[in-house]
Amino acid sequence: MRLATLRDGSRDGLLVVVGRDGRRFARATGIAPTLQAALDGWNRAAPLLAELAARLEAGTADTEPLDETGLGPPLPRAYEWVDGSAYLTHVRLVRKARGAEPPPTLETDPLVYQGGSGALLGPRDPIPLPAGDPGLDLEAEVAVILGDVARGTGATDAAACVRLIVLANDVTLRNLIPAELAKGFGFFQSKPATAFSPFAVTPDELGGAWRDGRVHLPLRSSVVRAGGARLDSDPDAGAMHFSFFDLVAHLARTRDFCAGTILGGGTVSNEDPARGASCLAELRARETIAAGRPATPFLAAGDRVTVEMRDAGGRDIFGRIDQRVVPA
């Protein structure tokens, strides 16, 4: 099933179930007021939501026309947002471009960072561009929303922790990163609010494309410049070196996580440059390696970013992230 959060002026919005054609929704009133409430009592709520989804398809539920512009992120505020960097091509390219070596544990010890989670962006929210030259970039990603995860959970037990799958645009201010990482405490100001796809979907919605803790489908993102030029990419999201199950095990080594934690896989990246790049930094890295300097500019006011994913039959799974860059 596919779930979404309708903006109603409240902090957490209203939970709704979205039909297979993406054109209608049914309010989950009486089951769970919000997605967080559903996640808090998933074993009770999930079968009731699935039943509502079935009635929606059968035409026996009260439905309303869906307008993606009225949706917030599935979780407008989440208890944790942890983002991995599980596509090693991305890490290798970015580091090579700046003449640095990847960490020696690159293939054995996942890279993750703890992101801000209290104020997340909806799929059509503008991306604020701070003044100066911050190097605004997209990062198109796949992420999972977890149930409760106990400290010590291993990769083999992690499948049961994955409740929902979403897409994300992990907005990044590249030019703030060097000074911030030099201080040694990780990203902070360089990672403004992340945006999420309209729909959060249960893994069964992906059929066989969800296997081994990875989503084996192309992630389609685009940057459309204010002047009309566009960049497209469609790398295979299944190329994760570490699976989401591996990442869960990494997270849970020393602490518990509560239901509603969002875990990202990192910027989707493939070795084949023909598949494009899910962030501008990676294009710039390839340019720097080839020609000594980057040519592709970062995002500017008026630019538009889209992120979406289609199944093997061409059906849109998550709805579309579609954001415009505006001066902050």
Judged by the rule CB under 8 A, the positions of this chain that interact with a second copy are 11, 40, 77-80, 82, 85, 103, 105, 109, 111-119, 128, 130, 151-152, 173, 176, 179, 181-193, 250-251, 253-258, 260-261, 328
CB closer to a second copy, 166 vs 317: 166
55 vs 248: CA distance, rounded Å: 34
Q: Closest CB to a second copy among 26 and 149?
A: 149
Distance CA(169)–CA(196), nearest Å, equals 6
Instruction: Quote the CA–CA distance of 255 and 295 in Å, as a whole number.
Output: 43
Shortest distance in whole angstroms from residue 302 CB to a second copy: 20
Q: Which is nearer to a second copy, 26 or 94 (by Cβ)?
A: 94
Which residue is it, tokens 């009260």? 62
Chain centroid offset of residue 223 CA? 16
The residue (of 135 and 238) whose beta carbon lies closer to a second copy is 135
Q: Yes or no: say if 192 and 184 are a contact pair by the CB < 8 Å rule.
A: no
Q: Residues 173, 189: contact at Cβ < 8 Å?
A: yes
What is the per-residue DSSP string for 251-293? HTTS--B-TT-EEE--S---S-GGG--SSHHHHHHHHHHHHSS
Closer to a second copy by CB, 112 or 248: give it: 112
Q: How far is CA 53 from CA 2, 86, 198, 320, in A?
A: 8, 33, 17, 21
CB nearer to a second copy: pick between 119 and 290: 119
Q: How far is the CB of 189 from a second copy (least distance, A)?
A: 5
Q: Which residues lie below 8 Å from residue 25, measured CB to CB, with a gap of 6+?
A: 4, 6, 16, 17, 18, 19, 56, 63, 64, 66
> Whose Cβ is closer to a second copy: residue 160's or residue 328's?
328
Closest contact distance (angstroms) between CB of 139 and a second copy is: 14
Q: Rounded distance, CA 152 to CA 318, Å?
A: 31
| Beta bridge mates, 169 | 140, 195
Least separation in angstroms between CB 92 and a second copy: 14
CB of 295 to a second copy, least distance (A): 26
Residue with smaller CB distance to a second copy, 57 or 148: 148
* Residues whose CB is less than 8 angstroms from the CB of residue 192 and which lie 6 or more positions away in sequence, other chains included: 128, 171, 172, 173
